[in-house]
Structure 1
């Protein structure tokens, strides 16, 4: 029996799988896995995948400018203060993890990020 090529096998769309980039930690804080794209023309969320939330940032990836802009942008999308969005990991990487400590639910975060993708 021939092996199935992974590229040709159709994958069912599963919205719950997409939101695995946005989850809760043990302390019930919301964790967002981010795939950052610095140096873009404007800030925006490009999509949600299993690997993370794609976010393009209008700042160069030098001296932490893109990281600062990322926190500011995510806070504005979620309607939170900058202090409610904490940089957990990935300061020098494009794969980052943000922790949301503000007064917002996981469902609200997923909805606001999905709405931002739809308007892009």
Structure 2
């Protein structure tokens, strides 16, 4: 009596494996894709909502007077420069070169110190509100009005 095992050909086995792997990978890829896109969309919406949260801030530009007697400065930081300076005051942001690398918050510390010196206020009156890991930051200054902040920043643009 001979035992005959039901052997499948190699091509038939490969074909079945490829069908299973294609169906497995395509079903997992499609189920994960919408979730990732949704996260990006939610993130984009939240960022857009954060930028347009204050209608007063959008109309006034880079320097905004808040309701709690503080002034918010929207900054475009340029770390790694040779020296600290204000490169320009645009409609959306104030460009500031920072003579510190963007490592371990060094540039943020130097930015706050530099702005306190330029504005003539204590370091405790200047704080980083948003953007600790981004080039686009929001710095809040207390004890000054919007016009005096603009005047002092403007006077430093030509001196940089």
Query: TM > 0.5 between the two?
Result: yes
Deviation at 1:28, TM superposition (A): 2.5
Unaligned runs of 5+ in 1: 1-16
Higher helix share: 2
- Structure 1 runs of 4+ with >2 Å offset: none
- Give structure 2 stretches of 5+ with no counterpart: 1-57
Deviation of 1:74 (Å):
0.3
Give the corresponding residue for 1:118.
158
Higher relative contact order (CA 8 A, sep 6+): 1
The residue that corresponds to 1:92 in the other structure is: 133
State how many pairs are aligned: 103
Q: Is the 8 A contact 2:70 2:145 kept in 1?
A: no
* TM-score for the superposition, normalised by structure 2: 0.61
- Aligned residue for 2:112? 71
CA RMSD of aligned residues (A): 1.6
Contact 2:81 2:99 in 1 (8 A): yes
Q: 1:119 is paired with a residue of what secondary structure?
A: coil
TM-score (norm 1): 0.81
SS at match of 2:158: helix
Larger gyration radius, structure 1 or structure 2? 2
Higher strand share: 1
